[in-house]
Amino acid sequence: MYSESSSSKGISIKSPEEQQKMREAGRAAAQVLEMIAPQVVAGISTQTLDDICHRYITEELGCVPAPLNYRGFPKSICTSVNHVVCHGIPAAAKVLKRGDIINIDITVIKDGWHGDTSQTFYIGEPGVLARRLVETTREAMVTGIRMIRPGVRLGDLGQAIQRIAEQHRYSVVREYCGHGIGRVFHEEPQVLHYGKAGTGVELQAGMCFTVEPMLNAGRAEVKLLPDGWTVVTKDHSLSAQWEHTVLVTDSGYEVLTLRQDETV
């Protein structure tokens, strides 16, 4: 028995068998965050976090860390601290300290299929400004995810996410977005975290994509550092992000990267 991949306007529709592979990949990615969470503390370097995740992904989960060598990215995870928006490169010299926030972004390849998820952690007790930004960013992601069902358009999600950010006087990063995901890390569609309701791709059961808003406490503009990867806020304001991989089902959605004790 076999099934052919199908697609709609270049967006792949996963068969039931393919959906099961995506579930397994998503679960593996979630397990990495569950494993690393207790170790995300003051005094640890982002390189050590990378080492621990690399070993767990390859040896315990039997997966491949998707970022490693992806378009030349040199490490297995992304670690984005404070004003780093995304794609921070783990480094031995980057030691976490109390009051920092850090996004850890995990993408694994399990049996050829990708699972992609990220979480922002506090180091020690967060300040009130950091807590409000991080919680609002998660609320924005969750609000987008809960809207997912066949017939809804991606612009509906984008507008809702943007509204939450702007109600709190935060800004949404425009240069990076969510993405379709499957055998390919980044595939169609692009999932913008801003936009206009009633526009964009209409969702269909069997689509898989990420929702991963990046919110800045200050202005939306970002810049790329000379290392070619690290993205920072131009005004050096704090930035937070959360990410899940989601499947569109007949009745709504399934979060493929949900952690134990997490609800969406």
Should residue 49 be labelled a site residue for ligand MF3 when binding is judged by CB under 6 A? no
Residue 180, amino acid: G
Enter the DSSP assignment of 153. B
Beta strands in 181-238 (DSSP E): 187-191, 208-211, 214-216, 222-224, 231-233
Binding residues for Co ion, per CB under 5 A?
105, 116, 210, 243
| Among 159, 160, 243, 257, contact with ligand MF3 (rule: CB under 6 A) | 243
Which part of the chain contacts ligand MF3 (CB under 6 A), choosing from 25-33, 67-75, 121-129, 190-198? 67-75
For 136, the enclosing helix (H) or strand (E) is helix 128-146
Closest distance of CB 191 from ligand MF3, Å? 10
Written as one letter, the residue type at 61 is: L
- Select from Co ion, ligand MF3, none the partner in contact with residue 70, using the beta carbon and a kind-dependent cut-off of 5 to 8 Å: ligand MF3
Q: How far is CA 116 from CA 14, 97, 212, 229, in A?
A: 16, 26, 10, 18
Tell whether residue 139 is a contact of ligand MF3 (CB under 6 A).
no
Axis-axis angle for helices 128-146, 154-167 (nearest 10): 160
Does residue 212 bind ligand MF3 (CB under 6 A)?
A: yes
Q: Does residue 187 touch ligand MF3 according to CB under 6 A? A: no
Candidates 19, 31, 46, 107; binder of ligand MF3 (CB under 6 A) is 107
Binding of ligand MF3 at residue 73 (CB under 6 A)? yes
Min. distance of Cβ 72 from Co ion in angstroms? 17
CB of 136 to Co ion, least distance (A): 19
Q: How far is CA 62 from the centre of its chain?
A: 21
- Sign of the CA dihedral 201, 205, 209, 210? positive
Residues that bind ligand MF3 (CB under 6 A): 67, 70-71, 73, 78, 87, 105, 107, 116, 212, 243
